[in-house]
Structure 1
Amino acid sequence: MTIEIQTDQKAQRWSGRVDGSAVQHLRWHQQIAAQNSQNLNDAVALIGFRSDAGVQRNRGRIGASDGPAALRAALSPMAIHKQRAMVDLGDVVVEGDDLESGQERLANAVAQTLGTGALPIVLGGGHETAFGTGLGLLQHLADNHSTRIGILNLDAHFDLRDEGQRTSGTPFLDLHQEMQEQGLEFHYAVLGISRPGNTAALFARADELGVPYLLDEHCEPEQVSRFVAAFLERIDVLYLTIDLDVLPASVAPGVSAPAGFGVPFERILAACRQVVASGKLAVADVVELNPRYDVDSRTARSAARLIYEIALG
């Protein structure tokens, strides 16, 4: 399998403390360094998407292109308690404003990875990452039109803007249009919506498209569990996308648009665990980490814990 890789060498990206080489001592950097990317069946496959183009077009604060490196650094020292093959397939790099080409390359990488039987986890990048991730899943399932594809977005924003070009605020309207063209039903739900962060027009568009959502202020444990369960019942295969601005700014300061309220970390973690337990998860991404504005790697560490649960939970 080949994807376009424009990164430093793996040894430079993955490093950390070594307590020993036996299974009970292993950390992520050791496990990933030891894996052969030729046999990916049932492996976790990390793909970076280094892009600021969508955030810049959306007039956000740029820096998300450094997110994949920061996420790898936060994941590297984590201990392994469940044996599973893990590989790093490198980064798809968006040069300048060449977003559309980058999204196509990401889609191809995701589709090829899914074809091997692996679980792709994409490390963003702004939320424009989502169009590439979602398109890759559509490509993978192109011959299975009866499969009900669901997109669960943990996010303070709908990202259903109609801008005339792709941005970090348009990916799910872009995917809706793509699915319409393919004759597919659009199953999309958002957990963590900020009422002040979305215009009345965006709420109206969500209603028009039949998008269920849960406001950040309503994200109590039982409500979160019921919301996720109800959505999972409607679909066969799930794409989970996590925009880190769904978390409180105290937990995730290093994002394009820090939350004034946010959903407590433990509620987002519980939603991730519920998704994994369903057995329907096909692909996931974690986006909008902006290391330039992070504090003590707080956002990166929070994101890494979520990735840890998705991969090895």
Structure 2
Amino acid sequence: MKKTISVIGVPMDLGQGRRGVDMGPYSIRYAGLKERIQRLGYNVHDQGNVNVPQAESHDIHDQKLKYLPEVTRVSEDLAEKVATVIAQDHFPIILGGDHSIAIGSIAGITQKHKKLGVIWFDAHADFNTEDTTPSGNIHGMPLACCLGVGHETLVNVAGFAPKIAPENVVIVGARSIDPEERNLLKKHGIKVFDMHEIDKLGIHRVMEESIRIAGEGTDGIHLSLDLDSIDPDMAPGVGTPVLGGVTYREGHFAMELLYQSGKVVSCDVVEVNPILDEHNKTARTAVDLVCSLLGEAVM
């Protein structure tokens, strides 16, 4: 891991339908993120937040792509900020906000790491487009956009597409995928380890294979960590909770294996919604998982 970490907040709630996720960066910081990481021996620079417009001050012009201009602008701004800290040889941790922020995160990271592997740790695949979406919420589209699938303005954030290749992408923890989205995933050859496979194979084998897919022949791995991947008993404060998720201990073991791989170059942490949380439990879980990713151990 890089010894200097830059934390970037993106208080984005335009990409999904349930308000409150814009407070996610604040709740994760409040849960002691910076202090915990510093205790591990890292230098931490908090770069503040990317400016995100309020939903109340903008109209929805397309029900299939809600807040498209606003999400695009934030993605462009985030891509620029991430590219700057990556160029300084920092390890970026991007705090959401909803998962649409990954469009900007990955756009920024791939300006240096041209061949980037991605592990998408999520209950959902986020592989919808305006043609398949049941909701019009862009937080259900970012992985597709990064692969060059979707609306041209989202696909071409930072001026190039695609950002990543399907053979270097793996989804872990999925348990809620829309029917047409499933067809798109199969069409593009995306490897999905759903909860059935985690139960059958065990998290150790799943993560070993995920690290191989995302890590072999790439410049590094980006972890996109959606807290709804974790079972709601430990992460209740998310916008779209799904029962039967990754356990707290499985999540930690997955992060520990990623740290041991030495391949992770960046991370975003998304969908923490303190309005729906219990005493900031989900944000504290997020901090615990990030610290395991950065090498925190019992011994």
TM range (shorter): 0.7 to 0.9
Tell me, in whole angstroms, the C-alpha distance in 1 between the residues paired with 2:291 and 2:43. 13
Q: Secondary structure at the match of 2:50?
A: strand
What is the match of residue 112 of structure 1? 84
Offset at residue 81 of structure 1 (A): 4.3
Unaligned 5+ runs, structure 2: 55-66, 149-154
Q: Deviations over 1:22-57 (max 9, x none)?
A: xxxxxxxxxxxxxxxxxxx730110000110001xx
> What do you get for the CA RMSD once the two structures are aligned?
2.2
What is the match of residue 87 of structure 1? 45
Tell me, in whole angstroms, the C-alpha distance in 2 between the residues paired with 1:275 and 1:139. 22
What is the match of residue 170 of structure 2? 189
What is the match of residue 144 of structure 2? 173
Aligned pair 1:198/2:147, yes or no? no
What is the match of residue 23 of structure 2? 66
Offset at residue 280 of structure 1 (A): 1.7
Offset at residue 113 of structure 1 (A): 0.4
Offset at residue 154 of structure 1 (A): 0.5
Match of 1:253 among 210, 223, 236: 236
Q: Secondary structure at the match of 1:248?
A: coil
Q: What amino acid maps onto 1:117 in structure 2? A: D
Normalising by the residue count of structure 1, what TM-score does the alignment of the two structures yield?
A: 0.78
The answer on whether the counterparts of 2:13 and 2:97 sit within 8 Å (CA) in structure 1 is yes
Q: What amino acid maps onto 1:262 in structure 2? A: G
What is the match of residue 159 of structure 1? 126
Match of 1:294 among 277, 284, 291: 277
Call closer, same or farther: CA 1:182–1:288 in 2, change over 3 Å.
Answer: closer
Q: Secondary structure at the match of 1:52?
A: coil
Worse-superposed segment, 210-219 or 183-192: 183-192
Tell me, in whole angstroms, the C-alpha distance in 1 between the residues paired with 2:37 and 2:165. 40
Normalising by the residue count of structure 2, what TM-score does the alignment of the two structures yield?
A: 0.81
The answer on whether the counterparts of 2:3 and 2:90 sit within 8 Å (CA) in structure 1 is yes
Q: What amino acid maps onto 2:244 in structure 1? A: F
Offset at residue 183 of structure 1 (A): 8.5
Offset at residue 206 of structure 1 (A): 1.0
Count, aligned residues: 262
Aligned pair 1:53/2:14, yes or no? yes
Offset at residue 221 of structure 1 (A): 2.9
Call closer, same or farther: CA 1:211–1:225 in 2, change over 3 Å.
Answer: same
Tell me, in whole angstroms, the C-alpha distance in 2 between the residues paired with 1:125 and 1:176. 21
What is the match of residue 110 of structure 2? 138
Q: Secondary structure at the match of 1:53?
A: coil
Tell me, in whole angstroms, the C-alpha distance in 2 between the residues paired with 1:310 and 1:203. 29
Tell me, in whole angstroms, the C-alpha distance in 2 between the residues paired with 1:128 and 1:235. 24
Offset at residue 83 of structure 1 (A): 1.4
The answer on whether the counterparts of 1:42 and 1:85 sit within 8 Å (CA) in structure 2 is yes
Structure with the greater alpha carbon radius of gyration: 1
What is the match of residue 230 of structure 1? 212
The answer on whether the counterparts of 2:147 and 2:162 sit within 8 Å (CA) in structure 1 is no
Call closer, same or farther: CA 1:119–1:211 in 2, change over 3 Å.
Answer: same
Q: What amino acid maps onto 1:94 in structure 2? A: V
Unaligned 5+ runs, structure 1: 1-40
Q: What amino acid maps onto 2:142 in structure 1? A: P
Q: Secondary structure at the match of 1:272?
A: helix
Aligned pair 1:207/2:179, yes or no? no
Tell me, in whole angstroms, the C-alpha distance in 1 between the residues paired with 2:37 and 2:80. 31
Tell me, in whole angstroms, the C-alpha distance in 2 between the residues paired with 1:216 and 1:184. 24
